[in-house]
């Protein structure tokens, strides 16, 4: 039996959020960066396991009303992104596919070889431009996960607050006061 074909043409203008609804449901996550369509490669099981553990660590310490979501869409200037983890402030709408940056306290990206440049350069710039107060980039070090913690400065860029590795759990203040201990996450 022949597989049905899908007639698809890119828009004759910059991509918009609405255009994502017209794409096939093929298991890909589509992001828009500066009006261009990006298709990040699928992450592996180790990536998902680490993201799940970070999400659980955040959820276990979350004050009432705060929500910690995996892979919800985030609106940024000129596009839409899917962070690995998004922390939504109390009162954020529950029934939305795309989160408004005003409702976000923190985004977390778990770096992998295929996402390194976007996670280090492209996405932080867009999250800062969207005025998201905090950004964590997590990478796998030789001895376990390392969290690079950034805070928004003057509403335009992120400054590095510091790093937290598996040997140095610390108290952090973003998105709320908690103890951050990467030693309990998978290597």
Is the four-CA dihedral 90, 74, 170, 183 of positive or negative sign? positive
Distance of CA 155 to CAs 27, 125, 162, Å? 35, 11, 19
Q: Are 85 and 68 in contact (CB under 8 A)?
A: yes
Predicted model pTM: 0.91
Domains of the chain in start order, with CATH, are 44-184 (3.90.1570.10)
31 vs 81: CA distance, rounded Å: 5
User: What pLDDT does residue 163 have?
Assistant: 94
Structure tokens at 18: 């609405």
| 127-165 tens-digit pLDDT | 999 999 999 999 988 889 999 999 999 988 999 999 999
Antiparallel, parallel or unpaired: β 104-110 and 85-88: antiparallel
Q: State how far Cα 69 lies from the chain centre.
A: 9
User: What pLDDT does residue 1 have?
Assistant: 60
Indicate the helix (H) or strand (E) that contains 124.
Answer: helix 123-129
pLDDT beneath 50: ranges in the chain: none
User: What is the maximal distance between C-alpha atoms in the chain?
Assistant: 59
Q: What's the chain's length in residues?
A: 187
Q: Are 147 and 136 in contact (CB under 8 A)?
A: yes
For residue 88, give the nearest of 74, 109, 58, 67 by alpha carbon: 67
User: What pLDDT does residue 160 have?
Assistant: 97
């Amino acid at each position: 039996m022949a597989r049905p074909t899908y007639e698809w043409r890119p828009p004759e203008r910059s991509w918009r959020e609405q255009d994502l609804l017209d794409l096939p449901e093929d298991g890909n996550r589509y992001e828009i960066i500066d009006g261009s369509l990006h298709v990040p490669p699928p992450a592996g099981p180790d990536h998902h396991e680490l993201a799940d553990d970070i999400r659980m660590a955040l959820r276990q310490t979350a004050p009432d009303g705060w929500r910690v979501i995996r892979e919800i869409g985030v609106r940024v200037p000129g596009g839409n992104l899917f962070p690995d983890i998004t922390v939504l402030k109390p009162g954020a709408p529950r029934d939305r596919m795309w989160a408004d940056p005003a409702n976000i306290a923190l985004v977390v990206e778990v770096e992998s070889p295929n996402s390194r440049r976007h996670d280090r350069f492209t996405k932080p710039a867009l999250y800062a431009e969207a005025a998201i107060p905090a950004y964590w980039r997590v990478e796998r070090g030789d001895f376990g996960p390392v969290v690079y913690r950034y805070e928004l400065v003057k509403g335009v860029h992120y400054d590095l607050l510091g790093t937290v590795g598996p040997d140095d759990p610390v108290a952090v203040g973003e998105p709320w006061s908690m103890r951050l201990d990467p030693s309990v996450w998978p290597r």
